[in-house]
Chains A and B, each alone.
Chain A
Amino acid sequence: MHALTHTATATEPAVTRGETTKLGRAIVVTSGKGGVGKTTTTANLGTALAQRGARVALVDADIGLRNLDILLGLENRVQYHVLDVLDENASLDDALVADKHSDGLYLLAAAQSREKEEVDTEKMRALVASLRERFDYVIIDSPAGIEKGFKNAVAGAQEAIVVCTPEVSAVRDVDRVVGLLGNRFRPQLVINRVRPQLVKKGTMLSVEDVDAFLRLPLLGVIADEPQIIVTTNRGEPLALSRDGQTANAYHAIAARIAGEDVPAPRVEMPKPTLFERLFRGGRA
């Protein structure tokens, strides 16, 4: 009886606070292996979520290898970075860089000339917690590996997106990372750089193959997209537009993250060319 009244009084203020300032969701994007598309996914998912009207903070936790600013085209606007905030050399407001293209999207850049080992895990956790008070989503781009940098990136998150390519080594690393994450974080899978033609020929693992090994909720499937190199060169994430399969695949991921029941992810073969349509009788 005593315990009951105690909990009742304890939850009361929490509920009312929850109504006024609802904490945002902190999601870490990780993979174990490098070069599989974590940063590309973070930039595009952040852009797609902001385009839906959400307030989004992207945190580049790849200390020493700053990349996210480049993908967003914000490299000239970065003045302070995560470690400046953690070391209290700059306020969060000073360090958060507003995106050029999407309202509501902000970047907290990584330190370029520092090392991952310098980051204090508890401070990182606290930083993410304070960002959650101000943003609907805090998306943390994790470095490769499973050491301290990974642990710091994961520290403040409640959810995880794991990015995998259809390769033996990438699947293995994701499997390891998911094992390390344990039961927390409810990891969801993004399979990146799928090449449908190769899958059809039997030279690339299919989405179903990867899925069968990892048995994670499938959040999205992204094709190997030649346009990505162009968008990275320009510093304009692909998800700024809604043209094309890949841009829409990022928007579908954002919708799913936001809780919409959008159709199961698929990667289509490229549309037949006009020539093929004319001569093989494909439907227009």
Chain B
Amino acid sequence: MIEFLRRFLSAASPSASTAKERLRLVLMTDHLALGPEIVDAMKRDLVDVISRHVEVDREKIEVTFERQDRAIALLANIPILSVRRPEPPAPPAPPAVRPRRKRSRRRRTTASAAEPAAAT
């Protein structure tokens, strides 16, 4: 039924709009592929941020782009070697309350992400 509806809809939508949408995605992918230095810079920045919380294997990082339905997704595979636990409980005078809360939440997500990586 959904398939039928989809076919019906795609038949009804003028092909120029389909072409436009496809072009938009194709060009986006092409431009990403064309800029390896951008991908490298992104990789570096990602790793820098994540390394604040966990130790990662810089050599084995993979950053890819995958075309999903209506957008491009960035997929990063970052092997985690160990969690940096011994961070002092009170970092040198964090400016406000809000950033501190954010940080603790972030740490929790990275810690759980570390588990499957540790198993491999």
B residues within 8 A CB of A205? 16, 19-20, 23
Please, which residues of chain A bring their CB within 8 A of the CB of B24?
213
For chain B, residues 1 to 55, give those with C-beta under 8 angstroms from any C-beta of chain A. 14-17, 19-20, 22-24, 26-27, 30, 34
When chains A and B are docked, how far (Å) is the Cα of A176 from the Cα of B30? Answer: 8
Contact with B34, one of A167, A179, A202, A204 (Cβ below 8 angstroms): A179
A192: interface (CB < 8 Å)? no
How many residues does chain A have at the interface if contact means C-beta atoms less than 8 Å apart? 16
Select which of A172, A176, A179, A203 is within 8 A of B23 by beta carbon.
A172
Are A172 and B27 in contact, with the CB atoms below 8 A?
Answer: yes
Within 8 A of B (CB), among A162-185: 167-168, 171-172, 175-176, 179
Q: Considering the chains assembled together, what is the distance between the CA atoms of A175 and B15 in angstroms? A: 21
Classify the interface of chain A: helix, strand, loop or mixed.
Answer: helix
Q: Assess whether A206 is in contact with B23, with CB atoms less than 8 Å apart.
A: no
C-alpha spacing A171/B15, complex, angstroms: 15
A175-215 toward B: CB 8 Å interface, digit per residue (1/0)? 11001000000000000000000010111111001000100
A186 to B24, CA, bound (A): 23
Of listed B17, B19, B24, residue having the most chain A CB within 10 A: B19
Please determine whether A204 and B23 come into contact, CB atoms closer than 8 angstroms: no
Q: Which residues of A contact B19 (CB under 8 A)?
A: 167-168, 205, 209
Q: How far is the CA of A249 from the CA of B16 in the complex (A)?
A: 24
Closest residue on chain B to residue A199 by CB atoms: B16
CA distance A24 to B19 in the complex (A): 40
Cα distance A179–B24 when bound, in Å? 16
Closest to A214 in B: B27
| Pairwise interchain contact A172-B16, C-beta atoms closer than 8 A | no
**11 A-B residue pairings within 8 Å (CB atoms):** A167-B19, A168-B22, A172-B30, A175-B27, A202-B15, A202-B17, A203-B14, A204-B16, A205-B23, A213-B24, A213-B27
Query: Hey, which chain A residues are within 8 Å of B34, CB to CB?
Result: 179
Closest to B24 in A: A213
In the complex, which of the residues A168, A204, A209 has the most CB atoms of chain B within 10 Å of its own CB atom? A168
Min distance, Cβ A276 to any Cβ of chain B, angstroms: 24
Contact B23 A202 (CB under 8 A): no
Closest chain-B Cβ to A3's Cβ sits at a distance in Å of 35
Taking CB as reference atom, which chain A residue is nearest B23?
A168
The minimal Cβ–Cβ distance linking A11 to chain B, given in whole angstroms, is: 37
- A206-B16 contact, Cβ under 8 Å, with A168-B22, A179-B34: yes
